[in-house]
Structure 1
Amino acid sequence: MNRKPPSQQPLAVRISSGPERLAGLGPLLAEARSAVGDVPALLELAKSAAETAPNPGEGGTAFLWEMLASVTAVDVAAGRVIEPHLDAAAILAQSAALAAGSQAARHAALPDRNGPDAGAWGVFAAEAAGLRLEAKATDGSFLLHGAKPWCSLAAQLDHAVVTAHLDDGGRAAFAVDLHAQGVSFEDPRWSSLGLREIPSGTVRFDAVPAVPLGDAGWYYRRPGFAWGGMGVAACWLGGAVAVARGFKEALVAASDGGRKPDQLALAHLGEIDRTLTALTGYLARTAEAIDAGELSGSGAWSEALRVRGQVATAVEHIQALVSQNLGPAPLAFDPVYGKRMADLSLYIRQHHTMRDDAQLGARTLKGDHPW
């Protein structure tokens, strides 16, 4: 059979773009493959990706998701690094568009993510019991006080978009310089076997200046919040595609060695094929709706919950099918396969499974559904 040599250019993940546009991802994917396990190189990859990545909702949403999925298909951790950097870029662009011409914009210039000193960005919006980050208004500006959990790679980043509690009980987003005086990083004591190179820990802020991005609640109200959530799902999809490609290659290798795949293996490969085909079609239609302005209202988050739920469920199912078919050997002896499975299993835990379905069900009960 015609086997692909290991040195061949990594394959892009197609959602809807044509071959020529996908071919343009070649250099980025080659960089991703050479940067596996090297965090500084992965951060440079994120900055490189931002130079050509479109923002969601501006006509190239499907290509943005293809970029995220394709990098993640090369290495799940690489996708996990570039996704928040691109999300931060989109948030800054949306905030700048909102503030354009306003008095707030004239008095609080946003960092230029493409400037010479902009560096690498993260997005820290998680909450945890016993930890609270507050933004205090002082003389027309804001200072951050408190702690933020689940801040991935914080000590190696330059800036971040963070959410913080306001005195009136609301929450708002802020841009913050992670090199500023008053920022400190706790040892995350990261023991995970998945995403080992991307520790997530607590960052503490002691009177750290921050630039507001929109008003109270804007970060969550904007359609970009939902669009960003679907971008994460595109990364999960890329990881699932990598698992599926590895499974197919294993079956081809076994066949070349004289062991033809049985009906069970072929049935599972067929199920994986139709699952991924359905997912990419769903994402293609969703991206088209975003770019057409059809997912900019209250229904955007419901669609994000559907997309994330569908992709996360499919990822876990594909992992289970492949693991059952290939058995323990690749988990024990194939470092690429083992890393991919461990990284992806941790990454998709950003989906809250039944809690997210309950949130979707509550919205459905109120009539927010397409059927």
Structure 2
Amino acid sequence: MPVRLVSADAELARWGSLLDSVAAAAGDVPALLAVAGNVGSDWPKPGDGQTGRLWELLASVAGVDVAAGRVFEPHLDAQAILAQAGVAPEERGGVWGVFAAEGPGTRLEAKRDGDGILLSGAKPWCSLAPLLDRAVITAHTETGGRAAFAVDLRHPGVTCEDPVWVARGLREIPSGTVHFDQVPALPLGGDDWYFSRPGFAWGGMGVAACWLGGAVAVARDYKESLAAAAEKGREPDQIALAALGETDRILTSTLQYLARTAELIDGGALSNAGALSDGGALPNRTAGADRSAWSEALRVRGTVAAAVERVLSLVGQNRGPAPLAFDEPYAKRMADLALYVRQHHAMRDDAQLGKRTLTGDHPW
């Protein structure tokens, strides 16, 4: 069942075959990647007038299977990044990942070699790298910045470590370190282009759409469990109904917020990326003026993360241990979503947002 954000019933009904394909492929990562690769080039891109529909699709895929959302989102994000960098559609084929994380003891460097660029070093947190064709990846440049590059993961200079992945959530999507040895790469913009474009913030909000879709599915699990119990003569008590009512209130308001933010992006109101680093002073602004996409991304991601965590808590408390122990789809969804939402940086992101709010970068 799709997650409604902006579409009418007739539009939602057209996605049935896609979501059926996702459901059939759930748990089979190569099959999910094939589905993502087949549809990815046709999906909307953020900022192109259909941002709400893109997020609705991402939420709907995650609503079927949270891990599927985790597969689809980076491929679609990579397609958007490549388009923003001016890469021709025929050069965007295959299934892509996006690897931009940094970690202690790892460093990936980009160095000029004649007319080209070669990547050498290591990159952590590269999800599904052995199964992907290509990736958008960030590396340190000779001029002291960081830049994005398109790289072929099938090149013989690419070596993927076998990750020690002990997580109970997202078990089929391990992340590990990838090593690069003189691997040719295509530059995507210059130093810091990847982080300074408004699409960086838009992509971060797309991840939040996946989180929210997973939470909607958890809420549906809860509603269906109450309805099933009522059919057997066990009507929900006030506590169970209060939890369902709070869940409805949280999800409805958060979905509406996400839909409104998509409208702002498509209307050009969030085309200013804003500074993405906490270093240095931010300019003083009047309230609501020069509103930045990154500040809005921090609001959206924080709001969605809080909504997800509250829904997980409400549903987990009220359903108790039995479905976590014996209902495999529900237990998997709860574990997958709990891990996925930890991509949010919690109070550190709020501190970054607070610094921006202090300068006037807020709508109130």
The TM-score, its normalising length taken from structure 2, stands at 0.94
**How far apart, CA to CA, are the structure 2 residues paired with 1:74 and 1:194?**
15
**How far apart, CA to CA, are the structure 1 residues paired with 2:329 and 2:38?**
24
**How far apart, CA to CA, are the structure 2 residues paired with 1:296 and 1:225?**
11
- For 1:15, the equivalent position in structure 2 comes to 5
Structure 1 residues 239, 309: CA separation in 2 closer, same or farther (over 3 Å shift)?
same
Q: Which runs of 4+ in 1 moved over 3 A?
A: none
1:289 aligned to 2:289? no
SS, match of residue 119 in structure 2:
strand
Aligned counterpart in structure 1 of residue 315 of structure 2, from 309, 317, 322: 322
Structure 1 residues 238, 334: CA separation in 2 closer, same or farther (over 3 Å shift)?
same
Letter in 1 for 2:69: G
Residues 236, 312 of structure 1: 8 Å contact kept: yes
**How far apart, CA to CA, are the structure 1 residues paired with 2:240 and 2:89?**
54
Residues 298, 350 of structure 2: 8 Å contact kept: yes
Letter in 1 for 2:91: D
- For 1:66, the equivalent position in structure 2 comes to 56
1:185-334 equivalences in 2 (<5 Å): 185-297=160-272, 298=274, 299-334=292-327
1:75 aligned to 2:50? no
Residue-by-residue CA offset, 1:1-54 (whole Å, 9 max, x unaligned): xxxxxxxxxx10011111111112111100010001001111011112314311
Aligned counterpart in structure 2 of residue 88 of structure 1, from 73, 78, 91: 78
Residues 150, 185 of structure 2: 8 Å contact kept: yes
**How far apart, CA to CA, are the structure 2 residues paired with 1:244 and 1:132?**
41
Letter in 2 for 1:94: Q
**How far apart, CA to CA, are the structure 2 residues paired with 1:110 and 1:213?**
14
**How far apart, CA to CA, are the structure 1 residues paired with 2:135 and 2:74?**
9
- For 2:157, the equivalent position in structure 1 comes to 182
**How far apart, CA to CA, are the structure 1 residues paired with 2:89 and 2:13?**
34
**How far apart, CA to CA, are the structure 2 residues paired with 1:69 and 1:273?**
16
Deviation at 1:110, TM superposition (A): 8.3
Alignment gaps of 5+ in structure 2? 275-291
- For 2:15, the equivalent position in structure 1 comes to 25
**How far apart, CA to CA, are the structure 2 residues paired with 1:45 and 1:238?**
18
Residues 149, 187 of structure 2: 8 Å contact kept: yes
Letter in 2 for 1:366: T
**How far apart, CA to CA, are the structure 2 residues paired with 1:13 and 1:49?**
18
Deviation at 1:341, TM superposition (A): 0.5
- For 1:135, the equivalent position in structure 2 comes to 110
Identity %: 66
Q: Which moved more, 1:42-51 or 1:183-192?
A: 42-51
SS, match of residue 85 in structure 2:
helix
**How far apart, CA to CA, are the structure 2 residues paired with 1:110 and 1:174?**
16
Residues 125, 176 of structure 2: 8 Å contact kept: yes
- For 2:283, the equivalent position in structure 1 comes to none
SS, match of residue 96 in structure 1:
coil
1:116-131 equivalences in 2 (<5 Å): 118-131=93-106
**How far apart, CA to CA, are the structure 2 residues paired with 1:156 and 1:347?**
20
Residue-by-residue CA offset, 1:283-308 (whole Å, 9 max, x unaligned): 11100010011100020000000000
Aligned counterpart in structure 2 of residue 347 of structure 1, from 329, 340, 345: 340
Residues 49, 82 of structure 1: 8 Å contact kept: no
Residue-by-residue CA offset, 1:285-334 (whole Å, 9 max, x unaligned): 10001001110002000000000000001101000000100100000000
Residue-by-residue CA offset, 1:196-229 (whole Å, 9 max, x unaligned): 1001000000000000000101000111000000
**How far apart, CA to CA, are the structure 2 residues paired with 1:14 and 1:171?**
38
Letter in 2 for 1:249: E
**How far apart, CA to CA, are the structure 1 residues paired with 2:38 and 2:71?**
12
**How far apart, CA to CA, are the structure 2 residues paired with 1:305 and 1:76?**
22
Deviation at 1:144, TM superposition (A): 0.3
SS, match of residue 91 in structure 2:
coil
Structure 1 residues 354, 301: CA separation in 2 closer, same or farther (over 3 Å shift)?
same
Residues 136, 144 of structure 1: 8 Å contact kept: yes
Alignment gaps of 5+ in structure 1? 1-10, 98-108
**How far apart, CA to CA, are the structure 2 residues paired with 1:60 and 1:293?**
12
**How far apart, CA to CA, are the structure 1 residues paired with 2:13 and 2:349?**
36
Residues 121, 179 of structure 2: 8 Å contact kept: yes
Deviation at 1:360, TM superposition (A): 0.7
Aligned counterpart in structure 2 of residue 55 of structure 1, from 30, 37, 45: 45
1:46 aligned to 2:21? no
- For 1:112, the equivalent position in structure 2 comes to 91
SS, match of residue 55 in structure 1:
coil
Residue-by-residue CA offset, 1:87-138 (whole Å, 9 max, x unaligned): 00000000007xxxxxxxxxxx88622xxxx221000000001100010012
Residue-by-residue CA offset, 1:245-271 (whole Å, 9 max, x unaligned): 000000000111111000011011001
